[in-house]
Amino acid sequence: MRTQVGIVGAGPAGLMLSHLLHLLGIESIVIENRSREYCEARIRAGLIEQWACDLLRETGVGARMQQEGIYHEGIKLRFGGALHRIDFKQLVGKGVTIYGQQEIVKDLIAARLSAGTQILFEVEDVTVHDLDGKKPKIRFTHAGKEDEIGCDFIGGCDGFHGICRPSIPDGVLTAYDRDYPFGWLGILSESPPPDDELIYCYHERGFALYTMRSPALARLYFQCAPDTDIENWSDKRIWEELHLRLGGARKLAEGKILQKGITPMRSFVTEPMQHGRLFLAGDSAHIVPPTGAKGMNLAFADVRVLSRAIGEFYRTAKSEPLDRYSETVLPRVWKAQRFSWWMTQLLHRFPHESAFDRRRQLAELDYLATSRAAATTLAENYTGLPMA
Ligand code: FAD
Ligand code: DHB
């Protein structure tokens, strides 16, 4: 098989890269080691920055998001026994949209397939080769047969546990990372969310977040120990914890739990995000803790730059934008890292924190609730920094 860009991974990064390339008249093939059903059912992100919503709409894959997504003009912070609203619209004139990542994945897969792009699901034994030359290759097994894609460029969009990043020779990449001493237990529940806006709760039992997927579907998370075994959390115990951490600020309706899982928390960046003709995008190059909801948005920001650089290469034969890909995207990556770390350290309990640390967190929350300058910084980052 031959194509212009071979893409490993059919998550938000890989599918959006293929979509944007298609709009530039550039061919790609996407390979994915999971089934289509699995990719379309994988429950993850839910919050889309305003520029990313515009991108989905402007590139023709935003129709269902426009219909079913829920636009939010603010969030609520709960601390010190009260709710405090941060009004994004008033502060920065922007908002965010709640629309499940798996719905975006469904919309992108449908668009790719209807445009005739090949997505090969359930591939195995994926390896990448000849990254330093002009004709890199992807080898894999599909439907029991060994196969190869010859291409001009490889999009390494295979997430944090993928094979692309580890295929780059030793000594090329520098990793910057931080682990957090907690995780999130998350559920999707067939019940109305407690508020029509997201509530971020600072609580002595630990952080909790009350978000949603629709007026009848709540998405609820709370901070837990990093080695938590989900089997030890009965539905009854989960609801008790969620009630306690919401602290009576709103009534929390219980419902059937449709999905539950534990998310580890990590900050990670690799520099550079490229080697030869392999370009990493999304979680394969960086991971943020979920507080602040930056992961999928960053994946879209990466592939927007990458698709344009590849487009420039085919249009003008200039490789300079591609050579500068890492340099171009890393400033945004690091600002999202900083923001995600900041939200995380502000709202969570840490094992070795002191009484001083708790007082400092409360002072910062109070500052956010009472200072327009502080709230504007939060609003500007949360709704998405401007795209170049
Ligand atoms: P992935 O979604 O991981 O996609 C990679 C794809 O590659 C997968 O389909 C995988 O199966 C495939 N793959 C892996 N290895 C191989 C291989 N060897 N061969 C072929 N295919 C392979 N982000 C936000 O922006 N907003 C949020 O609200 C938000 N909330 C989150 C809440 C939770 C609980 C979690 C876990 C994450 C959240 N995120 C959020 C982060 C977001 O989900 C990720 O950043 C996003 O999925 C990254 O997309 P990606 O395409 O880079 O990687
Ligand atoms: C969601 C997840 C987040 O991590 C966040 O900060 C906001 C919303 C969500 O899944 O809806």
- Give pLDDT, residue 388: 75
Is the CA virtual torsion 89, 91, 92, 93 positive or negative? Answer: positive
pLDDT at 343: 98
Residue 250 corresponds to which amino acid? R
pLDDT in tens, the chain (388 residues): 999 999 999 999 999 999 999 999 999 999 999 999 999 999 988 999 999 999 999 999 999 999 999 999 999 999 999 999 999 999 999 999 999 999 999 999 999 999 999 999 999 999 999 999 999 999 999 999 999 999 999 999 999 999 999 999 999 999 999 999 999 999 999 999 999 999 999 999 999 999 999 999 999 999 999 999 999 999 999 999 999 999 988 999 999 999 999 999 999 999 999 999 999 999 999 999 999 999 999 999 999 999 999 999 999 999 999 999 999 999 999 999 999 999 999 999 999 999 999 999 999 999 999 999 999 999 999 999 999 7
- Regarding the domain with residue range 180-265+352-383, which homologous superfamily does it belong to in the CATH classification? D-Amino Acid Oxidase, subunit A, domain 2 (3.30.9.10)
Give the number of C-alpha atoms closer than 13 A to the C-alpha of residue 230, restricted to the C-beta side.
13
Instruction: Report the pLDDT value the prediction gives residue 114, as an integer from 0 to 100.
Output: 97
- For residue 25, report the distance from its CA to the centre of ligand 1, in Å: 26
Active site residue 294: yes
> Residues 99, 136, 194, 200: which is the catalytic one?
200
Distance CA(165)–CA(157), nearest Å, equals 9
**Angstrom distance (rounded) from CA 21 to CA 152:** 13
Mutate to test the pocket of ligand 2, among 88, 198, 382 (most ligand atoms within 8 A of CB): 198
Protein residue with its CA nearest to atom 3 in ligand 2? 293
CA of 45 to the centre of ligand 2 (A): 6
- The residue type at 177: D
Measured CA to CA, the distance from residue 234 to residue 251 in angstroms comes to 21
Instruction: Specify the CATH number of the domain 5-46+100-173+272-343.
Output: 3.50.50.60
159: CA distance to ligand 1 center in Å? 6
Q: In what order do the strands lie in the sheet with 274-275?
A: 118-120, 28-31, 5-8, 153-156, 278-280, 274-275
For ligand 1, residues with CB inside 6 Å are 8-14, 31-34, 39, 44-47, 101, 123, 126, 157-159, 162-163, 186, 263, 282-283, 290, 293-297, 299
Distance in Å, CA 365 to ligand 1 centroid: 30
* Calpha distance 386→115 (Å, rounded): 30
Ligand nearest to the CA of 120: 1
Residue 181 three-state SS: strand
State the distance from the centre of ligand 2 to the C-alpha of 101, rounded, in angstroms: 11
pLDDT of residue 52: 97
Residue 272: asked if its preceding bond is cis (omega within 30°), the reply is yes
Active site residue 210: no
Contact 26, 3 (CB under 8 A): no
Residue 66 Cα to ligand 2 midpoint, Å, equals 19
- Which ligand does the CA of 296 lie closest to? 1
Whole-number Å distance between alpha carbons of 54 and 352: 42
Residue 281 and residue 162: Cα distance in Å, rounded? Answer: 11
Helix (H) or strand (E) run with residue 296 in it: helix 295-316
Residue whose pair of structure tokens reads 């534990």 in the numeric block: 262
Pocket test for ligand 1, best of 16, 96, 140, 158 (most atoms within 8 A of CB): 158
Phi, psi of 46 (to 5 degrees): -145, -5
At 298, give phi and psi (nearest 5°). -65, -35
Rounded-to-integer distance, Cα 117 and Cα 120, Å: 10
Ligand at minimal distance from the CA of 297 is 1
Ligand 2 pocket test, candidate residues 180, 209, 213, most atoms within 8 A of CB: 209
Q: Which regions of the chain carry the CATH code 3.30.9.10?
A: 180-265+352-383
Domain span(s) for CATH 3.50.50.60 in the chain: 5-46+100-173+272-343
Across the chain, the runs of DSSP E, i.e. the strands, are 5-8, 28-31, 47-48, 70-72, 74-79, 82-87, 96-98, 118-120, 124-129, 137-142, 145-150, 153-156, 174-190, 199-201, 208-214, 217-224, 256-271, 274-275, 278-280, 286-287
